[in-house]
Amino acid sequence: MKLTLPNPLPKGTQRLYILCTHLAIGASLWGYNIGILSSILVHPGWRAVLGNPPPSTRGLVTGIYYLGTLMSYLLVAHPLADYFGRRHAAGIGALAICVGSVVMALAGGEEALGFMLWGRVICGMGVGVVSTSVPLYQR
């Protein structure tokens, strides 16, 4: 009895599946970054690192993300997508989200709040680029 495997997908179809998966993940980053913060704000470790911040500081950490997103929408996302193309802009936005996440992960010591705020701004800018370029590329 001879076992025959189905023909593998053509290379173009494989690339299409990988690209669509990448874009779907990129589109979900907005909700993930918003949803995960509520559990971080009440985590005892995070509060200890930031010196048990008052509600106004926690609100600043939450709101500054939207400032980064707004700056990205107004100043960065469209020129970046027009110059590099939608696919590359989505990759650059995802890279910015990774950089912002690393900056937030490095938050510690006396500058913990500054690292957290800058990381949130960078993540917001990355999400602004991704959420602008991915839906246009998927059309």
| pLDDT tens sequence for the chain (139 residues) | 677 767 677 888 888 888 777 767 766 777 777 788 888 888 998 888 888 899 999 999 999 999 999 999 999 988 998 899 888 888 888 889 889 989 998 988 889 999 999 999 999 999 899 888 877 655 5
SS3 of residue 51 by DSSP = coil
Rounded to whole angstroms, how far apart are CA atoms 52 and 84? 43
The answer as to whether 10 is a domain residue is no
SS3 of residue 7 by DSSP = coil
The answer as to whether 108 is a domain residue is yes
The answer as to whether 65 is a domain residue is yes
| Packing angle of the helix pair 86-105, 112-138 (nearest 10 deg) | 160
Rg for the chain (alpha carbons), in Å? Answer: 19
pLDDT at residue 114, rounded to an integer: 93
Residue range(s) defining the domain that contains residue 100: 36-138
pLDDT at residue 74, rounded to an integer: 92
Rounded to whole angstroms, how far apart are CA atoms 101 and 95? 10
Written as six digits, the tokens of 44 are: 């005892």
- The percent helix, strand, coil of the chain (3-state, each to 5) is 85, 0, 15
pLDDT at residue 119, rounded to an integer: 94
Structurally, how many domains does the chain consist of? 1
Helices and strands: H and E segment counts in the chain: 6, 0
The answer as to whether 121 is a domain residue is yes
The answer as to whether 55 is a domain residue is yes
